Amino acid sequence: MPFISENELEKALVRAVKNPDAAPDFYRLLLESNLLVMGTAQGQEYASEEFSLSPGGKLNLVTAVKNGAPYLPIFSSQPRMQEFVDKQTKYLTIKGRDLLDITRGALVILNPASEFGKELSAAEVLRLLDGPGGDVPHYNLEEAYPAALVDALTAVFETRPEVIAAWMVKVGIGGAGDRHPLVGIDLDPGSDTWPSLISAIEEAAQEKVPGMVFDLHRMDRDNPAVGLTGALLKANPFYARPVAASSLN
């Protein structure tokens, strides 16, 4: 099906794909235009008219998977969404800047099933929202893991069968120099051992890497593409629970 632009944002997207010099106009319109995202707002599941999200309100957004990693599909028009999903689905219309701000840290793909689309990494979204020097968290997935910390954490995880996997990125504020590790840990659903796990990690760190600053984050299994969980999932896990071998007879 030929791509027919439905609005100014889609016209700008086509221009930017064909001519990189047109990208600034596309990014401006991406933030200023209304975007579509599949899902509902808590307490407004059956809303059919415009409403405002209450403070602390929760969005239940539909995510997808690409190359084994979760992402948030967003759309520039209804036809672009219909190219992606062929059944009736609930969706929200949200201004681009607000949507990207709400879902900071997520990998976002605009029009994932369309001829013209755009993938936005967590870092790209942060730069769009705040500029290169904004006082917001910036995540670095390329920096080498601190080996001593990895060894200490792995030794703890190997004794804790409830730990499924763990990830690590370097996180800092704005352009400031100091960055420290952020460790994401995925536990079995319903596990209530998070407090005791934190204590075990702190004890091991005090022994193996005294004085090292790092943060811990329990991965949000219900919203795998959003917030800190989404940022961590962009990295490769440094620990994964061993899987018992089995065979079919």
Q: How confident is the model at residue 221 (pLDDT cuts 50, 70, 90)?
A: confident
What's the whole-number average pLDDT of the chain?
81
Q: Is residue 249 assigned to a domain?
A: no
Domain boundary among 83, 113, 131: 131
- Do residues 225 and 233 touch, judged by C-beta distance below 8 A? yes
Can you give the CATH number for the domain in which 203 is found? 3.30.70.1350
Residues 189 and 92 reside in one and the same domain:
no
**Domain identity same for 23 and 111:** yes
pLDDT for 22 equals 85
Which distant-in-sequence residues (6+ apart) come within 8 Å of 125 by Cβ? 100, 103, 104, 105, 106, 108
pLDDT, mean of residues 77-89: 90
Nearest to 207 by CA among 161, 155, 145: 155
Q: How many distinct structural domains can be found in the chain?
A: 2
Alpha carbon separation from 125 to 7, 16, 59, 144 (Å, rounded): 22, 17, 19, 23
Rounded to whole angstroms, what are the CA distances from 22 to 17, 44, 86? 8, 38, 32
Region 148-168: mean pLDDT is 93
Distance separating alpha carbons of residues 164 and 99, to the nearest angstrom: 30
pLDDT at 11 over 90: yes
- The contacts of residue 171 (CB under 8 Å, 6+ apart) are 137, 138, 139, 140, 179, 180, 181, 182, 215
Tell me 127's DSSP state: H
Q: State the pLDDT at residue 139.
A: 52
Q: Which domain holds residue 15?
A: 8-131
More confident residue, 15 or 249: 15
| Residue 2 maps to a domain | no
Same domain, 64 and 101: yes
Collapse the DSSP code of 6 into the 3-class scheme (helix H, G, I; strand E, B; otherwise coil) and give the result: coil
pLDDT of res. 77: 95
Does residue 75 lie within any of the structural domains? Answer: yes
Mean pLDDT of 169-176: 58
